[in-house]
Amino acid sequence: GQQLNQSPQSMFIQEGEDVSMNCTSSSIFNTWLWYKQDPGEGPVLLIALYKAGELTSNGRLTAQFGITRKDSFLNISASIPSDVGIYFCAGQSDSNYQLIWGAGTKLIIKP
């Protein structure tokens, strides 16, 4: 079946650093979504990508839909404490409308 590999699994960052995470798929997707989840809450949609090569920003966040349609990355610039949380990617092909989810990247601020 379809699989999504999300890396890294976790990241220790210092405030002010730039962060990068990515997802790769064994299948082609037509949609890539990026979410952030705070502890005990539901994930919140950050960025949606619908076209290969598309680069979209949301404040300090930038995400890109890979040209091969099998990968996507998310960058966070100048990280701040509230960026801490778990980031999930999700991809969808049009064949059955099911979203396939990455395992998440946990962002932790170094003390």
Partner 1 sequence: KAGVTQTPRYLIKTRGQQVTLSCSPISGHRSVSWYQQTPGQGLQFLFEYFSETQRNKGNFPGRFSGRQFSNSRSEMNVSTLELGDSALYLCASRFESYEQYFGPGTRLTVT
Interaction site with partner 1 (CB under 8 A)? 31, 33, 35, 40-45, 48, 88, 90, 92, 94, 96-99, 101-104
Nearest CB to partner 1, comparing residues 17 and 84? 84
Q: Per-residue b/e over 6-20, b at no fewer than 16 CB within 10 Å? A: beeeebebeeeeebe
CB of 104 to partner 1, least distance (A): 5
Alpha-carbon distance 31 to 37, whole Å?
Answer: 20
CB of 20 to partner 1, least distance (A): 20
